[in-house]
Amino acid sequence: RADENLHVQRDGHWSECYIPAFVRRYPYALAADGERFQVVLDEAWPGFNTEEGDPLFDSEGSESESLKRTLAFLEEYQGHVRTTQAFMGELNRLDLLESRQLQRAVSAGEEAQVLTGLWMINEDKLKALPADQAQALLKNGALGWIYAHLLSLVNLDRLNARLGQRIEAEKSAA
């Protein structure tokens, strides 16, 4: 089911305890400006107004404490983006990623539900890495992230179950 996020309820609310930083940063974002980034914001966001809430700037035109916290969060977020990009570049360089799909078992006569666009670490390729490359992954911390990813794959079963629940709810509502 294209363009569907099973962690977002039909009413648009996030259904999990943890909200990803990519979502939390809204209505702000960073836009690349050469080597630097500029803060951009969604001026249409209803939270921006002149009647209530925290101002972006104080009476002297300096950044408010609220804006300073937001800027610190965005800077930290961008640092994590760079780290993730470097990590993914290393996985690609070592040819450890492979495209996978998840198929949901369906009843007779129903169209199969397939989740595509999943990228996973190929454990066989990981185990076949030369010792010096595996050692480098261990020393730079990437090996821990790799195993965290592999351990997280059990959550695909939960995601598959969530898709089944949503499909059943849609059938009941129809």
pLDDT tens for residues 127-169? 999 999 999 999 999 999 999 999 999 888 888 788 778 878 8
Handedness of CA 55, 57, 60, 62 (dihedral sign): positive
1 pLDDT band, cuts 50/70/90, is low
- Beta strand pairing call for 97-104 and 113-121: antiparallel
Which pLDDT value is given to residue 98?
A: 96
State the chain's mean pLDDT as an integer.
88
pTM across the whole model: 0.75
CA distance 63 to 75: 15
Which pLDDT value is given to residue 134?
A: 97
Higher pLDDT, 166 or 65: 65
